[in-house]
Structure 1
Amino acid sequence: MIDLTILLDGRSEDPLYTQLYQYIKTEILSGKLAAQTRLPSIRALSSHLHISRNTVDLAYQQLIAEGYVQSRPRSGLYVIDLELETLSSSYSSSMNMPKASVQERSAIQYDFRYGDVDAEHFPFSTWRKLSNQSLQMNQQMLVSYGDPIGELGLRNEIANYLHGSRGVNSSPDQIIIGAGIQYLLGIVAGLLGAAINSIAMEEPGYDGARTIFQHNGLPVHPIPLDEDGLNIQKLYESKSRIVYITPSHQFPHGMVMPLAKRMQLLKWAADMNGIIIEDDYDSEFRYVGKPIPSLQGMDTHQRTVYLGTFSKCLLPSLRTAYMVLPPALLELHKKHNYRLYDQTVSQLQQKTLELFMSNGHWEAHIRKMRKVYRQKQMTLISTIKKLMGNQATIIGQDAGLHILLRVHNGMDELELIQTAEKVGVRVYPVSPFWTHPTQAERSMVQIGFGGLSNEDIITGVHALHHAWFNNY
């Protein structure tokens, strides 16, 4: 139930109930009162607006009569889904097209969205148990704002994990926790802002990062890719002193930057007195070759900001990410009073995650999810190769939770997406990852597989093959 705050004019020629009815009707038609929203009770609204119950009752009766709301016994008044009602009335009289068919034909059954994860294997019972344990440990602590950079216990766990898994060298004091990579990138952009003329980024690259930099007034200089990642020579030529990069799994093309090129990039930072922003967003999921240490762990000059997230291994809805600041930027963080920013991740969630890591559940979960996602990736790739053969080229299959697919059927990006939707499958564009979308490859789409079952992946690819190659 919601509150309705309305300015009613007692001097108007329109009665108060008419004014109230017109207001609610307008809110419904504009979408501000969504379908299935419960309206306040007659008693509650009359008390809130200081008007008689009869006035509210008359307005509600008019809304019911005109079909904007419906009364549910012992429950209340609810806004009707006008869009669904329109479909129903349009098609209910047709014997050849029942009203459900329109929704069925337009429904997306297989959504290959990158960023979706496998919720089926998330240890909800363990998380619930640890969350309850956190509530019982120190209730006074959990109702306070907490440490602005994150709770020390969780920062200790993250530091230990990163050192063992990614070779990151840091103390807990260098780690800052925040609600997502983009929030943390906003802090980095603020720290660097006045000191730089532009920021270099991979082209194509993560559009979420590009937007954060642009919103903070930082011009973005796109740097083209080689087969093994960022073109270092073009980076030198750009004269930028800051570079944002995804070396462990380039987004979106998926290549893994080899050790030799990582050394070249670190040399660039030393030569240019520059800063590397290393986004290690899904480094846990590498399927080919030996793991390569993070740039931060190889950086003897301490010029690398390291970013990571729990969104891919756990759940995006947890909104928990972290960054490791080099000493120079950590001093700027203190100097410019960034500790006045309140922590954006709840203490309860931080404490639960700390217990999840300290009790060994985190690493066990990663090991399990590597197998789960590896199987899904193999299912996706093998099905594409079996059905499409040389009619499609798979790009970026060595790591991560998505691939790019270059389709050789003459369709452009938009046509591929729209044709797929006609058979209930959603795939995604690649052009937004380019600074200038018109320069993107014409016939390429992004396919994520984390949120689908193996069976749905197979069925979804069969539907794509039918849509793209059988003159659907």
Structure 2
Amino acid sequence: MFEITLTIDKTNKDEALYVQLYKYFKTEIQNGQIKAGTKLPSKRKLAVHLGIGLNTVDTAYQQLMAEGYVESQLRKGFYVADLEPISPLNEQLHVAEVMKCSLHERNKIDYNHGRVDVDAFPHAVWKKCLNNTLYLHEREMFMSGDPQGEWGLRTEISSYLFQSRGVRCGADQIIIGAGTQYFIHLLRLLLGNERIFGLEDPGFHRVREVLGLEGADMAFIPLDESGMSVESLKESAANVAYVTPSHQFPSGMIMPITRRVELLNWAVEKSGFIIEDDYDGEFRHTGKPIPSLQGLDTNGKVIYLGTFSKSLIPSIRVGYMVLPKELAYQYKEKLIGYKQTVSRLIQETLCLFMKNGHWERHLNKMRTIYRKKNKVLLNAIEECFHDRVAVIGEKSGLHILLKVKNGSSESELIQKAASVGVKVHPTSVYLSKKVKEPTILIGYGGLTEREIEEGIRLLKKAWL
């Protein structure tokens, strides 16, 4: 027999008594404190010793038996099973360190470009649309929907894209899906293995990752002052170009009309396609949003990608792809067997949200909020750094780039920022090769104006 050091917390409402007892024995067995073959106390004795019910002890023992930690021998009792050695302590320590690190990270001001202002999201309106959707379509919501996405939502998206972005398409050309990476995977299947993808350099690393994992041929095309260099594109073997013309990621530049026309002509001459990722296209801080590349296309060469992740909230995972008519037909022939990746309930809720005008009101509100945050950020940088930094890509989107003129490397800048409680992000991950002049990415959508200003003051302390 062994000494039981467990203390049962009968006031713990979050963890049942049997769970506390089960976890105690499980941990002691894993740690080797209770050896294989050891007889456990009888249920009655243990219940009396701990002052708990007999059923509580029985439930804990049954769980240990179900998981193989103990064995029951007829009329003898419960014995610890002979297990392979387990070394959980290091893993537990690692988990504890990760949790400690995570808690520390959460206390930082994090200039993450992927975050949005969730406090401004119309929670009550969204919840009302969700409840109405369940009330009106309860039985339908339990069944699989259209593989391309719900027709009503595709119709609303088609109307919105034409009015706001100049995209010309019908609902039958739209595919709903869970984000850009999923669409890149579908396009890889749809366009065929022989296609060579020309990617912006620097450019969105997650697209590069998908294509790399799938074994696609890639060509990294440098940027000039107007975006992807068409001259370099022509010199490459690429016949599919992936571009972010409305807000180049990560540099933030906006592709002028002259370069857009050059790209369209390249696609016709090459018998290729252009994938237009309208990244942050809704948020332009000076002037009106630039019309889409797809709206200029008269030859069916542009595939348009968009998402609600920045304009609504990232967690709903709703994106859309607009295919040229010929590719839309091929999609129905080749890929219609792919199940829809976005919840039907979310799709119908978003459809109602758009149909009732909430989407347009929310978008206008967010444009105002982000324009103000952009101004606060730029004013703080000017006040703290003056000419010691160069700001890039400040006219649109929810992030900027900073070139810091203090001689530090990218990693040194990030480490110095972390030392004062600020998390900034590298841009080297978006490049195919190293650069001499480090640039830091500053995202501000998910921060308050106070946090934006405080973070910049702390960066001044760290960097100057």
Check whether TM > 0.5: yes
Which residue identity lines up with residue 326 of structure 2 in the other structure?
Answer: A
1:221 match: 219
Q: How does 1:312-391 map to 2 (within 5 A)?
A: 312-336=310-334, 338-391=335-388
**Structure 1 unaligned residues grouped into runs of 5+:** 20-39, 69-79, 88-99
Pair 1:52–1:139, CA change in 2 (3 A): farther
1:110 match: 109
Which residue identity lines up with residue 178 of structure 2 in the other structure?
Answer: A
Q: How does 1:65-464 map to 2 (within 5 A)?
A: 82=93, 108-196=107-195, 198-336=196-334, 338-436=335-433, 438=434, 440-464=435-459
Alignment check: 8 A CA contact 2:109 2:421 kept: yes
SS state at 1:138 partner: helix
Distance 1:186 1:256 in 2: 26
Pair 1:86–1:324, CA change in 2 (3 A): closer
Distance 1:315 1:106 in 2: 22
User: Deviation of residue 16 (structure 1)?
Assistant: 5.7
Alignment check: 8 A CA contact 2:370 2:445 kept: yes
Distance 2:148 2:278 in 1: 20
1:24 match: none
SS state at 2:336 partner: helix
Q: Map Cα deviations across residues 348-381 of structure 1 (whole Å, 9 max, x no partner).
A: 1001100100000001000000011111111111
Distance 1:18 1:307 in 2: 64
1:46 match: 65
Pair 1:240–1:104, CA change in 2 (3 A): closer
Distance 1:284 1:106 in 2: 30
Which one has a bigger Cα radius of gyration?
A: 2
- Identity over aligned residues, as a percent? 42
Distance 1:299 1:447 in 2: 33
Distance 2:413 2:191 in 1: 40
SS state at 2:176 partner: strand
Alignment check: 8 A CA contact 1:16 1:55 kept: no
- TM-score norm. by structure 1 comes to 0.80
User: Deviation of residue 239 (structure 1)?
Assistant: 2.9
Which residue identity lines up with residue 447 of structure 1 in the other structure?
Answer: I
Alignment check: 8 A CA contact 2:248 2:279 kept: no
Distance 2:79 2:339 in 1: 43
Distance 1:179 1:402 in 2: 23
Which residue identity lines up with residue 403 of structure 1 in the other structure?
Answer: I
Aligned length: 410
Distance 1:410 1:86 in 2: 33
Distance 2:111 2:346 in 1: 29
Q: Map Cα deviations across residues 129-184 of structure 1 (whole Å, 9 max, x no partner).
A: 11111111122211112111101010011001001001111110110001111111
Pair 1:172–1:106, CA change in 2 (3 A): closer
**Structure 2 unaligned residues grouped into runs of 5+:** 1-14, 41-58
Alignment check: 8 A CA contact 1:203 1:222 kept: yes
Aligned alpha-carbon RMSD (Å)? 3.2
